[in-house]
A and B are shown apart, each in its own frame.
Chain A
Amino acid sequence: MGIVSPGFFGRRRSDDPALPPGQYRTEDFPVLSAGPTPRISPDEWEFTITTETGQVHRWSWTEFLALKQDDVSTDIHCVTSWSKLGTSWRGVSLDTLFESVESECEFTMAHSYGGYTTNVPLDDLLGGKAWIAHQFDGETLEPAHGGPARLLVPHLYFWKSAKWVRGLELLRQDEPGFWESNGYHMYGDPWREERYW
């Protein structure tokens, strides 16, 4: 593959009610690389939720796959203006993962293999709004798209859906993640065009 990811062949669909303002529809799935793609084998993969008391809830790949699995059909919206409608994912709801977690925090920081971080309010991860996804279109999620598993928070701009996710840290106060500390919006609602500070 060349230096430029394929797939930016969208056309303007500003009259499409499924598209948030300023978005274009694409049928492809562009890859935006902020760095080298981490290669994490299932044997070494784990997912953790760390509370404000330091308690760590931990799932191995096998334990993660044994949890209740959801099939999700949803639209995704990238802050760089492409949207992809009707995407299909399979993964574990954050509601399932948080069943055994006790916390008074309202904010989280997602941490990824490779060092990427992004902040998401806890309310936006619960209530059937977010998943840890490990399949896309019926296939194993490829490393370029965040495999083995990525966060999926489709009602926010897609930079919040952290690729290669390895854990969530519960925070008492909101803190900026990787892009939020350098100009991107703390929340990122595509319907309100919350792209930048």
Chain B
Amino acid sequence: MTDSADLDYLDGNAAAGPLSEFFAVDVVSARGRCAHCGRTAALATARLYPSSHGLLLRCPGCTEILLRLVDSGDSVCLDLHGLSFVELHRDEGGSQPNPQPPA
């Protein structure tokens, strides 16, 4: 049985593989904004609940759902309604600030 002290989720890095079918880049390094509470952070910091029904990423701030992925074999369904934006930096690693515009 699970109790409150047990860890029953993974971090968002574990979503990288399943999401690679949709995105040409490693999208868990992108910053996403929770549509519920506004918390903005790398998707890798979200909580992944490995329910066998599907993949769920939840906001670590408010626990609302950021992303759902259901693989039915013939198709894969991605629901992003819990993310109000996703920001991906073009520099390698995706964690550096934007380059300064040319002078």
- With A32-B53, A35-B63 already in contact, the answer to whether A3 and B2 are too (CB < 8 A) is no
Q: A80 and B53: CB pair below 8 A? A: yes
Is B87 an interface position by the 8 A CB rule? no
Of the residues A30, A33, A195, contact of B8 by C-beta under 8 Å: A33
Chain B: minimal CB distance from A2 (Å): 8
For chain B, the bracket of interface size reads 20 to 34
Total CB contacts across the A-B interface at under 8 A:
69
Chain A: minimal CB distance from B17 (Å): 16
Cα A144 to Cα B2 in complex, Å, equals 6
Among B8, B9, B64, B73: residue with most chain A CB under 10 A: B8
Is B50 an interface position by the 8 A CB rule? yes
Is A113 an interface position by the 8 A CB rule? no
Of the residues B1, B6, B7, B54, contact of A182 by C-beta under 8 Å: B54
CB proximity to B under 8 Å, residues A1-51: 1, 3-4, 30-37, 39
Q: Is the interface of B mostly helix, strand, loop or mixed?
A: loop
Of the residues B2, B63, B73, B77, contact of A1 by C-beta under 8 Å: B2
- With A182-B68, A183-B72 already in contact, the answer to whether A34 and B51 are too (CB < 8 A) is yes
Of the residues A30, A35, A39, contact of B4 by C-beta under 8 Å: A39
Is A131 an interface position by the 8 A CB rule? no
Q: A31 and B2: CB pair below 8 A? A: yes
Q: B1 and A3: CB pair below 8 A? A: no
Q: A36 and B63: CB pair below 8 A? A: yes
A residues near B (Cβ < 8 Å) are 1, 3-4, 30-37, 39, 79-80, 115, 142-144, 159, 179, 181-184, 195-197
